[in-house]
């Protein structure tokens, strides 16, 4: 069982100052990765190391604010192993100084890139928890490991709620195969329709399902400016 969301690394500067390096908060990680993208355009290790030094300097905004205003002071207090340790802790970019592989190649051969990450979608999902007043506060509060751990917990709780409500109706969501996910989602929508319509419909696409929480989520529905006549009601059929 996991006991920590991320590892904490100790970094010692040449001036003797010691800091604890952890994954960057998303606010700083954005700036870090924007600078890191420039490494793709360098032609040799000297250029790659310069870019990595700039990235490590950005990390000081979180790790060591006293060194975040002057890159020369920063460079005077770090060596290559320290820079590599910082970028590993900050963004999981590992550079082995003993490797024969070029620094640029080591830094850019890690599979999926920052640009391929749908961060907006992930943040939007987390924002629904209602903890943060805006996205700026969310990005200042969370690192990527923290965001992913939060979403994993949220999704697990959401699934357990669905499983409980489905079990009331005799549906076992755990027994559904991967091919049955779409069918399971429809069953979930139909289940909600039965609940919100008080048994009047089991079709998730029926207008009767747009009541209460469903109506509020959709932005319209019965009770939110949408009226209806139930033609199955004998009193309506007689009139």
**Nearest Cα to 169, choosing from 132, 143, 146, 194?**
194
Tens-binned pLDDT, residue by residue, of the chain (239 aa): 567 788 888 999 998 999 999 999 999 999 999 999 999 899 899 999 999 999 999 999 999 998 899 999 999 999 999 999 999 999 989 988 888 898 888 888 765 567 777 889 999 999 999 999 999 999 999 999 999 999 999 998 888 888 888 888 777 777 764 455 566 666 777 766 666 656 666 565 554 555 555 555 544 444 444 444 454 555 544 44
Beta-strand relationship, 18-21 and 9-12 = antiparallel
Count Cβ atoms within 10 A of the Cβ of residue 179 and give its class: 0-12 exposed, 13-18 middle, 19 or more buried. exposed
The distance from CA 163 to its chain's CA centroid, rounded to whole angstroms, is 24
The distance from CA 76 to its chain's CA centroid, rounded to whole angstroms, is 36
């Amino acid at each position: 069982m996991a006991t920590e969301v991320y590892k904490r690394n100790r970094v010692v500067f040449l001036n003797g100052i010691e800091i604890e390096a952890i994954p960057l908060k998303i606010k700083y990680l954005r700036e870090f990765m924007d600078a890191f993208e420039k490494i793709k355009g360098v032609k040799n290790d000297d250029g790659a190391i310069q870019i990595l030094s700039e990235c490590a300097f950005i990390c000081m905004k979180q790790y060591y604010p006293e060194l975040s205003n002057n890159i020369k002071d920063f460079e005077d207090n770090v060596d290559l192993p320290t820079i590599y340790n910082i970028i590993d802790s900050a963004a999981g970019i590992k550079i082995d100084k003993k490797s024969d592989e070029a620094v640029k190649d080591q830094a850019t051969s890690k599979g999926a890139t920052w640009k391929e990450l749908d961060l907006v979608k992930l943040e939007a999902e987390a924002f629904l928890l209602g903890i943060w007043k805006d996205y700026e506060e969310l990005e200042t509060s969370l690192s990527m490991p923290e965001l992913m751990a939060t979403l994993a917990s949220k999704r697990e709780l959401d699934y357990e709620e669905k499983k409980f409500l489905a079990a009331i109706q005799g549906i076992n969501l755990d027994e559904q195969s991967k091919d049955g996910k779409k069918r399971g989602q429809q069953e979930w929508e139909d289940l909600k329709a039965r609940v919100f319509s008080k048994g009047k419909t089991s079709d998730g696409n029926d207008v009767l399902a747009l009541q209460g929480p469903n109506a509020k989520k959709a932005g319209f529905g019965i009770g939110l400016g949408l009226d209806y006549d139930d033609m199955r009601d004998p009193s309506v059929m007689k009139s």
